[in-house]
């Protein structure tokens, strides 16, 4: 309680009362609390209705699970953007599949002629994703693997929050236990299976540098669309600049960014809309150098969409 009051006090001093309360209103956390009371009977449900599908949920209730039970959606602006970047028949790599939320979103667009290859090292989430994939309208293969710079094994930190597991250990992610898991690189997986993805979606809580390092061949030769959450609170500025340099080297010049701070189902529609911006590579790098980049989802276009 004392720490919360201290944070409020710092916010009021740093931002001023008007800006502070404007931000709090736009963030809309009060709507979350109202919905938690109104829809409390849903919180013990084993399934949530997402995009017309009843998805099986893990036992852990925090994070994405709670969002889906209360609101039926997760990252509303990111979800809209993801739909617009997909086409019927797409081949998708879904790195960090979790329980399969984005599988349900993609399947309704790419259809029966498309296919998704998912990767989820968390065993409970992998089991959910397997079951959820079975009710979706496209070809889906889920691998119980992490994705990193090269094939082998890696230490994976399972979190108390269903969508916060990572190969990067951080107290921010509320790690619960650490397990050794098998891992694969994007290049090795695609070469072994003779595939070239048209879309790579990635949300792996700070493991972006390692995963992208292991995707050089695919990104150089195939230049798929990228839909990646960059966890700027978990990676260093040097690592972020490394990612930007790699994107430039691979020919990605057009970016759309979503400020994840406001992309919640309970945030105001205006705040969510204003959280989405188009940006050039130069502008993106300048923000990164100046430390003004929030936790973002980046949509990196191959120029064809």
Per-residue pLDDT reduced to its tens digit, 53-77:
999 999 998 999 999 999 999 999 9
- The Cβ-side half-sphere exposure at 294, using a 13 Å CA radius, reads 12
Cα gap 25→274, rounded to integer Å: 14
Q: Output Rg (C-alpha) for the chain, integer angstroms.
A: 19
Low-confidence winner among 59-63, 156-160, 210-214, 292-296 (lowest mean pLDDT)? 292-296
3-state SS assignment for residue 172: helix
DSSP 76-104: HHHHHHHHHH--TT-EEEEES-TTSHHHH
Low-confidence winner among 7-11, 80-84, 269-273 (lowest mean pLDDT)? 7-11
- Tens-digit pLDDT profile for residues 157-174: 999 999 999 999 999 999
Q: Which CA distances in Å does 199 have to 116, 216, 272?
A: 9, 15, 24
Identify which has the larger pLDDT, 117 or 8. Answer: 117
Task: Name the residue with tokens 């400020």.
Answer: 259
DSSP letter for 166, please: B
Pick from 183, 182, 123: nearest CA to 158: 123
Q: Among residues of the chain, what percentage have pLDDT more than 70?
A: 95
Low-confidence winner among 72-76, 157-161, 236-240, 291-295 (lowest mean pLDDT)? 291-295
Residue 244 has pLDDT above 60, yes or no: yes
3-state SS assignment for residue 53: strand
Per-residue pLDDT, 291: 79
- Taken in order of first residue, the domains within the chain and their CATH numbers are 17-300 (3.40.50.150)
Looking only at the bridges linking them, the beta strands covering 115-119 and 276-280 are unpaired
Pick from 244, 217, 216: nearest CA to 228: 244
Per-residue pLDDT, 31: 94
Name every residue whose Cβ is closer than 8 Å to that of residue 176 and which is 6 or more positions away in sequence: 157, 158, 159, 160
Tell me the average pLDDT of the chain.
92
pLDDT mean over 79-94: 96
Identify which has the larger pLDDT, 26 or 16. Answer: 26
Report how many helices (DSSP H) and strands (DSSP E) the chain contains, helices first.
13, 13
Name every residue whose Cβ is closer than 8 Å to that of residue 225 and which is 6 or more positions away in sequence: 85, 198, 199, 200, 299, 300, 301, 302, 304, 305
Residue 297 has pLDDT above 90, yes or no: no
């Amino acid at each position: 309680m004392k720490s919360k009051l201290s944070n409020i006090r710092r916010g009021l001093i740093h931002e001023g009362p008007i800006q502070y309360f404007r931000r709090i209103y736009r963030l809309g956390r009060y709507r979350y609390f109202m919905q938690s009371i109104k829809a409390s009977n849903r919180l013990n449900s084993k399934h949530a209705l997402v995009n017309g599908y009843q998805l099986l949920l893990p036992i852990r209730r925090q994070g994405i699970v709670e969002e889906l039970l209360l609101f039926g959606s997760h990252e509303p602006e990111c979800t809209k953007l993801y739909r617009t970047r997909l086409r019927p028949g797409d081949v998708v790599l879904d790195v960090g599949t979790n329980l399969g939320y984005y599988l349900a979103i993609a399947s309704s667009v790419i259809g029966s002629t498309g296919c998704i290859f998912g990767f989820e090292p968390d065993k409970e989430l992998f089991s959910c994703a397997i079951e959820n994939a079975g009710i979706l309208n496209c070809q889906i293969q889920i691998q119980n693997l992490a994705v990193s710079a090269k094939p082998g094994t890696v230490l994976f930190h399972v979190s108390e929050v269903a969508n916060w597991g990572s190969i990067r250990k951080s107290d921010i992610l509320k790690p619960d236990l650490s397990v050794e898991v098998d891992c694969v690189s994007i290049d090795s997986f695609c070469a072994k299976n003779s595939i070239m993805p048209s879309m790579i979606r990635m949300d792996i809580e700070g493991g972006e540098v390692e995963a992208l390092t292991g995707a050089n061949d695919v990104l150089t030769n195939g230049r798929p669309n990228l839909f990646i959450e960059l966890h700027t609170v978990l990676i260093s500025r040097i690592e972020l600049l490394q990612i930007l340099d790699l994107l430039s080297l691979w020919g990605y010049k057009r970016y759309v960014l979503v400020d994840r701070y406001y992309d919640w189902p309970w945030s105001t529609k205006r705040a969510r809309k204003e959280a989405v911006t188009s940006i050039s590579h130069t502008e993106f790098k300048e923000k990164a150098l100046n430390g003004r980049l929030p936790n973002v989802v980046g949509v990196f276009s191959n120029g064809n969409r």
